[in-house]
Amino acid sequence: MQRRAAAMPRRCNAMLGRKPLTIAGRRLNHTYREHQIGNFMTQPIPRDPDTLRSARWFAPDDLRSFGHRSRLKGMGLDDVDYQGRPVVAILNTWSDLNTCHSHFRNRADEVRRGILQSGGFPVEVPVMSLGEMLMKPTTMLYRNLLAMEVEEVLRCHPIDAAVLMGGCDKTVPAMLMGAISADIPSIFMPAGPMLKARWRDVTLGSGSDAWKYWDQRMAGNLCDRDWNGIENCIGRSAGTCMTMGTASTMACVTEALGFTLRGAATIPAVVAEHSRLAVQSGRCAVEMAWQQRKPSSFLDAHSIDNGLITSLAIGGSTNAIVHLIAIAGRLGIDLSLERFDELSRTTPVIGDIRPGGRYLMEDFHDAGGLPALLSRLGDLLTLDSQSVTGETMAERIHGAEVINDEVIRTRENPVAQAGGTCLLKGNLAPSGCVIKSVAADPKLLTHCGPAVVFDDYPSMKAGINDPDLDVTADSVLILRSAGPLGAPGFPEWGMLPIPQKLLKAGVKDMVRLSDARMSGTSYGTCVLHIAPESAAGGPLALVRSGDMISIDVPNRTIHWDVSDQEIAERRAAMPPLKPVPERGYAKLYAKHVSQADQGCDFDFLVGRSPGDEPSIF
Ligand code: FES
């Protein structure tokens, strides 16, 4: 590559010295993650600016590069600001409409500080924000769109590394999927959970307690004043849901994959430690650029197993299954539901965290966080799996201490010996379905009852509290048209409400089946992700109220007690499937999204990317 003589200042090399950080000869104090960051910064690594991807944009002595440089100068930047330095993108999912990421404006500045400290050139790049609370019909409809945006934004710009700022549910898998496919050095910086909520003398958990107290209200046990009081208290700070919902589950899974700094997943969003995490993540990204530490260099099938085991051990959200299948797919790994169930049979649930347990994310962090929990799983994990820092899983859990055995239980005293989430199969779900058994009433894990079928969400909402609804506590509530194609977008409708007349009679749980997902903060005996879904012609489309349905979670079966001949007759009389939308993203989605057991990624995005670089002419 022909290079301008003065274009490559080496000053940043001195700034990035190999020694531990010191001030006046005194080694700086760090957090408990220090040992890894310290080691990582002392590794001798080549720092040849020619190896930077961004050099293709900025270094050549040609007209196109003249244009790139001159326009940056028009922004007030000098050669020394960006030449010869890793360009590190801060992919920020901040938005006024994403309540969980409201602190990300400040955090982006802190990431920027870390990048500058390590001699990088920070550039903040906004990407689509998927805020779980306000986006309809469901953020899951747009997970793959954000994944595509992340992949293409990374690919088409002069970016050497990226800090991925996400947290609210789908932002996590989407950003990982995009970064894996772009295969550009990337570190994930989780938003962190909200602080614990308090109402009167009660500790509230987001999501979970909203459902619980809504049921109380429906049963006539909670007045308007108390309901309003809960509304005022349950969202106590910026950050993601502070139960072990999908956001916290995916943050923990991401840390177990090696995609974050050690201990990052549980740090509450608004504490000073979270700001330090942001700065450290920025520093790490610069080093990753120099070391060319791409996702493909530290992620493999063992990492995925570590993520799965972690999700099971923390009693994590069922959504993690769908997301991990999609993430694995981007690595060219065909992850099956059977693998998930296999690991489920041998992984104890030792995180005693709501909704499956008693505590909240802040308690989990104070108890030692994920490294402490993983240290108790030691032999179940692949210990030589790598991470963004180059450290192995063994190094990341070494020395981690459990501070509170009530929150992070011992393997001898687990929340559940195994099977936190289970795969069921049978004639109603030939491709499988899942149940979070740790959040279900144990008495209902083996159950047989008559179906009460709702064709879609509006009819369920209109009919569930009808006093004349033919339903008892033994009934099996069924919702269809709620899968990836049906809703569309695979919304979190799977925790069907218990009919008001049963709530008033004291019923607290029932067996519920659907082709929907369920929020990670939800609970109950809810069988989810039935595949194939009804809108794809799955058997769920043919069930009628009164049909007998049985589930047997210990034996992993689900059975619909209707003869094959009857099924064939119903199928012959079935109306045509819903047509594909005519235009726009809805058309792309409907034509290409896969079913739940295949991760709901688009078929044309699965598999390793060939790693094509854009032409620069
Ligand atoms: Fe954003 Fe729960 S709503 S994490």
pLDDT in tens, 250-275: 999 999 999 999 999 999 999 999 99
- pLDDT by residue (tens digit) across 377-425? 989 999 999 999 999 999 999 999 999 999 999 999 999 998 788 999 9
Pocket flag, ligand 1, residue 255 (CB < 6 Å)? no
**pLDDT score at 522:** 85
Q: Are the C-beta atoms of 533 and 595 separated by less than 8 Å?
A: yes
Structure tokens at 339: 């693998």
Residue whose C-alpha is closest to residue 318's, from 341, 288, 350, 351: 341
What is the distance between the alpha carbons of residues 426 and 550, in angstroms, rounded to a whole number?
Answer: 10
- H or E element, residue 199: strand 197-199
- The confidence band for 36, taking pLDDT boundaries of 50, 70 and 90, is very low
Dihedral sign, CA of 435, 342, 266, 247? negative
Structure tokens at 10: 């080496």
Cα 390 to chain centroid distance, Å, stands at 22
Residue whose C-alpha is closest to residue 395's, from 18, 31, 37: 37
The answer to whether the bond into 488 is cis (omega within 30° of 0) is yes
**pLDDT score at 11:** 34
3-class DSSP state of 147: helix
Q: In sequence order, which residues have a C-beta less than 8 Å from that of residue 468 and are 6 or more positions away? A: none
Q: What is the amino acid identity at position 50?
A: D
What is the distance between the alpha carbons of residues 28 and 20, in angstroms, rounded to a whole number?
Answer: 8
Residues paired with 164 in a beta bridge: 91, 188
DSSP type of residue 257: H
3-class DSSP state of 165: strand
**How many other C-beta atoms are found inside a 10 Å radius of the C-beta of residue 44?**
6
**pLDDT score at 45:** 60
Q: How many residues does the chain have?
A: 617
- pLDDT by residue (tens digit) across 343-377? 999 999 999 999 989 999 999 999 999 999 999 99
Pocket flag, ligand 1, residue 169 (CB < 6 Å)? yes
Only one residue has tokens 């326009």, namely 71
Residues paired with 199 in a beta bridge: 202
Q: What is the mean pLDDT of residues 436-448?
A: 94
Name the more confident of 45 and 173: 173
What is the distance between the alpha carbons of residues 539 and 429, in angstroms, rounded to a whole number?
Answer: 7
Backbone angles phi, psi at 595, to 5 degrees: -75, 170
**pLDDT score at 420:** 83
What is the distance between the alpha carbons of residues 262 and 256, in angstroms, rounded to a whole number?
Answer: 9
Structure tokens at 88: 């590190």
What is the distance between the alpha carbons of residues 74 and 177, in angstroms, rounded to a whole number?
Answer: 34
- The confidence band for 100, taking pLDDT boundaries of 50, 70 and 90, is very high
Structure tokens at 512: 């519920």
What is the distance between the alpha carbons of residues 477 and 461, in angstroms, rounded to a whole number?
Answer: 12
Pocket flag, ligand 1, residue 287 (CB < 6 Å)? no
**pLDDT score at 14:** 35
Pocket flag, ligand 1, residue 386 (CB < 6 Å)? no
**pLDDT score at 35:** 36
Q: In sequence order, which residues have a C-beta less than 8 Å from that of residue 213 and are 6 or more positions away? A: 222, 226, 227, 230
Dihedral sign, CA of 199, 201, 207, 211? negative
- H or E element, residue 263: none
Pocket flag, ligand 1, residue 132 (CB < 6 Å)? yes
Q: In sequence order, which residues have a C-beta less than 8 Å from that of residue 362 and are 6 or more positions away? A: 193, 195, 196, 242, 268
Pocket flag, ligand 1, residue 168 (CB < 6 Å)? yes
Structure tokens at 144: 């793959």
Instruction: Give the position, in ligand 1's atom list, of the atom nearest the Cα of 132.
Output: 3
**Alpha carbon of 111 to ligand 1 centroid (Å):** 22
Residue minimizing CA distance to atom 1 of ligand 1: 168
**pLDDT score at 61:** 94
What is the distance between the alpha carbons of residues 8 and 54, in angstroms, rounded to a whole number?
Answer: 12
Compute CA distances 230 → 7, 134, 459, 502, whole Å.
59, 19, 29, 24
Q: What is the DSSP string of 411-447?
A: TTS-SBSS-SSEEEEETTEEEEEEE-GGGS-GGGSEE
Q: Are the C-beta atoms of 536 and 430 separated by less than 8 Å?
A: no
- H or E element, residue 550: strand 548-552
Structure tokens at 418: 């195994």
Given a cut of 90, whether residue 46 has pLDDT beyond it is: no
Pocket flag, ligand 1, residue 91 (CB < 6 Å)? no
Residue minimizing CA distance to atom 3 of ligand 1: 132
Residue whose C-alpha is closest to residue 321's, from 402, 426, 418, 420: 420
- The confidence band for 125, taking pLDDT boundaries of 50, 70 and 90, is very high
Compute CA distances 576 → 534, 535, 536, 543, whole Å.
12, 10, 10, 16
Given a cut of 60, whether residue 606 has pLDDT beyond it is: yes
- For ligand 1, pick from 132, 244, 360, 517 the residue to mutate: most ligand atoms within 8 Å of CB: 132
Burial 147-175 (b: 16+ CB within 10 A, else e): bbbbbebbbebbbbbbbbbbbbbbbbbbb
Strands 422-426 and 26-27: what pairing? unpaired
Instruction: Give the position, in ligand 1's atom list, of the atom nearest the Cα of 133.
Output: 3
Q: In sequence order, which residues have a C-beta less than 8 Å from that of residue 130 and are 6 or more positions away? A: 93, 98, 139, 142, 143, 146, 168, 169, 170, 171, 174
**Alpha carbon of 108 to ligand 1 centroid (Å):** 19
DSSP type of residue 505: T
**pLDDT score at 520:** 82
- The confidence band for 616, taking pLDDT boundaries of 50, 70 and 90, is confident
Instruction: Give the position, in ligand 1's atom list, of the atom nearest the Cα of 241.
Output: 2
Pocket flag, ligand 1, residue 515 (CB < 6 Å)? no
Structure tokens at 608: 């390793």
Given a cut of 80, whether residue 28 has pLDDT beyond it is: no
